[in-house]
Amino acid sequence: MTTPMNQQMLLVSRPSAEPTPANFKLVQTAIPALADGEVLVRHHYLSLDPYMRGRMNEGKNYAAPQPLNAVMIGGTVGEVVQSRHERFQVGDRVVGSGGWQLYSVVQAGQPGTLRKVDTTRVLLSAYLGAVGMPGVTAWYGLTQIIEPKAGETIVVSAASGAVGGVVGQLAKARGCRAVGIAGGREKCDYVVRELGFDRCIDYKAMKSVDMLSAALAEACPQGIDGHFENVGGIILDSVMQRANAFARIAMCGMIAGYNGEPIPLAEPRLILTSRMKVQGFIVSEHMQLWPQALAELADRVGNGSLKYRETVAEGLEDAPEAFIGLLKGRNFGKQLVKLV
């Protein structure tokens, strides 16, 4: 067969504050011939995620910075179109980390590089969201750090997003009261009516920490036992004011500071006086638990008890604008780029 040309989106400069389209460059490249043990994957969807913003910086992060003039990192799902590996056949549906490009050549024998997925009960795109890294992130932070008990109140920021929406639904399934925080009435209505949260607070309607804290007091009459943090800033400050003794906070993201904005903590003494556990985590450091998490997530998505929403941009050329929109909260649910 004739090998097609590849399109790739490169990071060509580091943003000084908010990313712009000028930080990226779309190029066309030839696809090399496969060596033994390699497969060629045609990507159907690309995942866009907030963690990518931190990787664009040159400074210290939990992972190495995204190299300049190289394909942007990112999770992908697609199908095998050529194979020189015995475990993968043409037509296999797979999930991996192919990056911002139409095709990727993968050394399939290396652990963790490529995983076959079953699309009979779960749509392929969901393996980048509810049954993928965001879903496992939600599962890990909730079950391993917050450790919810029936009857407790769990608060989730960015509750309409790919991670936050799963956290609240898993908390409800464990007998908890779930209270979301999201931006805008439409997102809050979705969190309650579609995802089944007990309440959702529109942080955009709150002008101060005191206003948000008062709204949390009304939504969480028994206080807050667990919090899944994706944002930081005044949201974290407000939650800490309403946290019960021995509350647990899973620190997943700090999107309020991804462009370099300072996000000081207003009352760190509350960590001591309320004897809180505040723990950050990186889900890729806990691969031994992924099979357990994915099994529950796939089962719940398959039987319809775990719901999700996707925002889909069309074409690789639209990925930078979609990514910028993600950081501004323009997306609704999981942000994807459709590549076929």
Identify the weakest region by mean pLDDT among 122-126, 145-149, 255-259, 294-298: 255-259
pLDDT tier at 2 (50, 70, 90 boundaries)?
A: low
According to CATH, the topology of domain 133-284 is Rossmann fold (3.40.50)
Of the candidates 318, 340, 338, which has an alpha carbon nearest to the alpha carbon of residue 330? 318
pTM of the model: 0.93
Per-residue pLDDT at 211: 97
pLDDT tier at 263 (50, 70, 90 boundaries)?
A: confident
Specify the residue for token string 């209270």: 179
Per-residue pLDDT at 66: 95
Of the candidates 153, 186, 137, 171, which has an alpha carbon nearest to the alpha carbon of residue 286? 137
pLDDT tens per residue, range 57-108: 987 777 789 999 999 999 999 999 999 999 999 999 999 999 999 999 999 9
Specify the residue for token string 């620190």: 251
Domain ranges of the chain: 5-129+309-338, 133-284
Across the range 162-186, mean pLDDT stands at: 97
Q: Where are the alpha helices (DSSP H) in the chain?
A: 51-55, 133-140, 164-173, 185-193, 209-219, 234-242, 269-273, 290-302, 319-327
According to CATH, the topology of domain 5-129+309-338 is Quinone Oxidoreductase; Chain A, domain 1 (3.90.180)
